[in-house]
Amino acid sequence: MALSADGSRIRVAILGSGMTGCAVASTLLESSSSTSSSFVTGTKARFDVTVYEAGRGVGGRMSTRRDDLRGGGVGGRFQFDHGCQQIVGPAKTAEFAEALVAWRGRGCIAEWGGRFGRVFGRDDGDDEGGERTIVFEEETGGTTTTTTTTTRYVGHPRMSSICENLVGATASASDGDPDPSTVRVVTRTRARAIRSSYRDGTAANTWRMERSDEDGVVEALGIYDWVVATDLGSARSLLPCDDDDDDDDDKENSPSFKRMIGDVDAVPICSTMVTLDGPLSSLPADGIDIDHDSHPELMGEKFGTLGWIARDSSKPGRRWGGRGLGSDDDGREEYWILQSTRGGARVLLERLDLMGSTLEEIREEIRRTMVNDFMRAIPLLASVTANGYRKGGTEEEDADVLPTVIDSVGHRWGAAFPVHGKKNGDGDGNAFIRMDCHVDATRRFVACGDYFGVHHGNVEGAFLSGRAAANRLIRHVNTQSNASV
């Protein structure tokens, strides 16, 4: 086992600082900080952990946008959770329930109280003479009855606070040797992992991390003993060229990991951050799920791309009004997050791709389309949330309730949700549901993320996969260390 320069620590590079990456990092750090021994010999591996993140801060899809949207004034004026919106409880596993309790104790999550519900369409009466109706089903009270209590948690004072707390991140690229008591986080860095060999002058069976600047100049980032890929893209990029080298320590997992991961896809989602000039009092709900599956024709006609809308400024710890952020001047602006359906994002992005649009053009068209859909839907949503339903949905709506949009910015999440078995319903990707992570002990490569496990596709699944990956790595390294004593 190759160790770091002092001969006592295992160097681990983690690609991605979302929930999975931060769960891996914090678990490895806990193991390194623990004074207990793993075996009667007392030998226990310690870890130097570095997290590489392409974005401006930690969080991945749980990151928070904090700046002046158009870049024209006060830095830090606006704050939006433009990716993951919430953690919906109760937890499905005891391990994640314990994590929620711990996070609440640390103050990095809080319960998001408010009014929530679902809007859906239906046909009332006979097929030919029936009236199309849009219904608001409130989560608690109203027209909905539930047997379990739903609790919504959000990061406090922002969604990225959870990941920041896990790694103790200052989100800066520090120089010099890493502090063994902390996780080193390197942001704004799209790192590449290259498997090393004796031929390139480094120790065999290690990983060389590097990045290229805008001019193509390559910068070395360090040598690591293990690399952990926390998303589909980075995992695919690190796979061997042929299956003969795909020798993992999970022999029971068949077919090969390489073929399995080829049958998993990730679908995009579009988000738009909207700042209004005042509270949208005509729409009392703080979060609304727009159910297109209930009546695709009607819901598409009335709501366009919208799949979820939320009053982001209603979350705990957020100062209401942009001018209030970081100042004593309580502004009256209100922040809303608009998120698309998967189908809406696909249609919009495919059209833009055919047009050869640039990234900035894509973001602008996302913004324009989703703001228009929101403005068009507000009068109907105001009516249906007040009355519980709206008959007919074809007449002109009252435009007097429309607010003024101060600013808005679109964003594309290129890989928002995993899709298993993309080739057919029984595709190899479905095998990931029976796995919590993948550990290739021969190549010292770990793959984990929210595409693994029964609870895939959400924060809980991402956390569980990261924890499982770290614990598997710890067990393997400790076993190898004690076997060589």
- What CATH number is associated with residue 132? 3.90.660.10
Domain stops at, among 379, 396, 417: 417
Q: Verify that 298 and 408 share a domain, yes or no.
A: yes
pLDDT tens digits in sequence order for the chain, 485 residues long: 445 444 568 999 999 999 999 999 999 998 887 655 443 344 578 899 999 999 989 999 999 987 665 544 334 467 899 999 999 999 999 999 999 999 999 999 999 998 999 999 998 865 555 688 999 999 864 344 444 578 999 999 999 999 999 998 543 444 445 555 679 999 999 999 998 765 555 556 899 999 987 777 788 899 999 999 999 999 998 887 654 444 444 444 434 888 888 888 889 999 999 999 989 988 878 999 999 999 999 999 999 999 999 999 999 998 654 443 443 445 578 999 999 999 999 999 999 988 899 999 999 999 999 999 999 999 999 888 777 766 554 445 555 568 899 999 999 999 888 888 755 444 445 678 889 999 999 899 999 999 999 999 999 999 999 999 999 999 999 887 655 54
Q: Decide: 415 and 268 in contact? Cβ < 8 Å.
A: yes
Q: Verify that 292 and 403 share a domain, yes or no.
A: yes
Q: Verify that 243 and 184 share a domain, yes or no.
A: yes
Q: Which pTM does this prediction carry?
A: 0.86
Q: How many domains does the chain have?
A: 2
Q: Verify that 411 and 303 share a domain, yes or no.
A: yes
Helix 459-483 / helix 19-33 crossing angle, nearest 10 deg:
40
Q: Verify that 246 and 279 share a domain, yes or no.
A: no
Domain stops at, among 396, 417, 438: 417
Q: Is residue 471 part of a domain?
A: yes
Q: Is residue 1 part of a domain?
A: no
Q: Verify that 401 and 460 share a domain, yes or no.
A: no
Q: Verify that 394 and 412 share a domain, yes or no.
A: yes
Q: Verify that 186 and 221 share a domain, yes or no.
A: yes
Q: Verify that 336 and 434 share a domain, yes or no.
A: no
Q: Verify that 135 and 192 share a domain, yes or no.
A: no
Q: Is residue 69 part of a domain?
A: no
Q: Verify that 352 and 287 share a domain, yes or no.
A: yes
Distance CA 62, CA 154 (A): 10
Q: Is residue 229 part of a domain?
A: yes
Q: Is residue 67 part of a domain?
A: no
Query: Domain range spanning residue 24?
Result: 9-60+162-263+424-483
Q: Is residue 4 part of a domain?
A: no
Q: Verify that 320 and 374 share a domain, yes or no.
A: yes
